[in-house]
Amino acid sequence: MLDIFYVLITVFFFAVAAAFVRGCARLEKEE
């Protein structure tokens, strides 16, 4: 159970990081 929790935390962080990449790219395009 805890294993799944920590794997999900890891995946969640990288999903946030990927969204951050997209956010920076959108900002770049807007400017």
Partner 1 sequence: MTTNGVIQLLLFFGLILLATKPMGAYMARVFGGERTFLSPVLRPIERLFYRLFGIKEDEDMKWTTYAFAMLMFSLVGGLLSYGLLRLQGFLPFNPQHFTGAQMTPDLSFNTAMSFTTNTNWQSYVPEAVVSYFSNMVSLAIHNWMSAATGIAVAIALTRGFARRSAAGIGNFWVDMTRGTLYVLLPICLICSLVLVQQGSPQNFAPYTQATTVEGGSQSIGQGPVASQESIKMLGTNGGGFFNANSSHPYENPTPLANLAEMFSIFLIGAGLTYTFGKMVGNTRQGWAIFAAMALMFLGGLGVCYWSEARGNPNVANLGVMTQATAGQPGGNMEGKETRFGIANSALFATVTTDASCGAVNSMHDSYTPLGGAIPLINMMCDETIFGGVGAGLFGMLMYVIIAVFIAGLMVGRTPEYVGKKIEKFEVRMAILAVLILFANVVCWTALASNVKFPPGATSQTFSDSQRTQEAAFLQANPAATWNRVNGSNPSNYYGATYNNVNNSGPHGFSEILYMYTSSTANNGSAFAGITANTPYYNATGGLAMLVGRFLMMIPLLALAGSLAAKKVVPASGGTLATDSTTFAVLLALIVLIIGALEYFPALALGPFVEHLKMLGGSLL
Site of tokens 């990927």: 18
Provide the minimum distance between the beta carbon of 13 and partner 1 in the complex, in angstroms, as a whole number: 5
Q: How many CA atoms lie within 13 A of 12 on its CB side?
A: 6
**4-23: contacts with partner 1 (CB under 8 A):** 5-7, 9-11, 13-14, 17-18, 20-22
Provide the minimum distance between the beta carbon of 10 and partner 1 in the complex, in angstroms, as a whole number: 6
Show the 3-state SS of the chain. CHHHHHHHHHHHHHHHHHHHHHHHHHHHHHC
Q: Which chain residues interact with partner 1 by CB under 8 A?
A: 2-3, 5-7, 9-11, 13-14, 17-18, 20-22, 24-25, 27-28, 31
